[in-house]
Amino acid sequence: MGRRVLLIEDEPNIIEAISFILSRDGWTVHTHSDGETATEKVREGRPELVILDVMLPGRSGFDILRDLRADAATADLPVLMLTARGQTKDREMAARLGVSRFMTKPFSNAEVLESVRALAAS
């Protein structure tokens, strides 16, 4: 199976940085920036894993994660959640909803790469 990741993020600089890092590592990176249609995009694209921002236009990453976990087709899909707000309550909410990993912005390139590789291997 191809190594495909769907990056759901609305900040152009972060999209560019993560796309570059993962492409260099052999991943095909698809991007999406609208929270309203993100769940459909995941279902259509069937990525190996999802990198999901918390704050998106239309719907939050938490709402999207809740939808993914409630659907049998995506319930086990690895999800790396990114947020600029790394407060304990955000981490706890993500954990309750079934996030695979949680990472706060700013992050290092090595940190993103290590997390993606670990999620893909699990």
Could you read off the pLDDT tens digit of each residue along the chain, which spans 122 residues?
Answer: 469 999 999 999 999 999 999 999 999 999 999 999 999 999 999 999 999 999 999 999 999 999 999 999 999 999 999 998 778 899 999 999 999 999 998 999 999 999 999 999 98
- The verdict on residue 113 lying in a domain is no
Q: Could you give the C-alpha distances from 37 to 2, 43, 49, 77, 84, in angstroms and in order?
A: 23, 10, 17, 17, 22
Domain that holds residue 70: 4-103
- The verdict on residue 108 lying in a domain is no
Kindly report the number of other CB atoms within 10 A of residue 63's CB atom: 17
- The verdict on residue 116 lying in a domain is no
- The verdict on residue 80 lying in a domain is yes
Which pTM does this prediction carry?
Answer: 0.95
Looking at the structure of the chain, the number of domains it has is: 1
- The verdict on residue 64 lying in a domain is yes
E strand intervals along the chain? 4-8, 28-32, 49-53, 79-83, 101-104
- The verdict on residue 114 lying in a domain is no
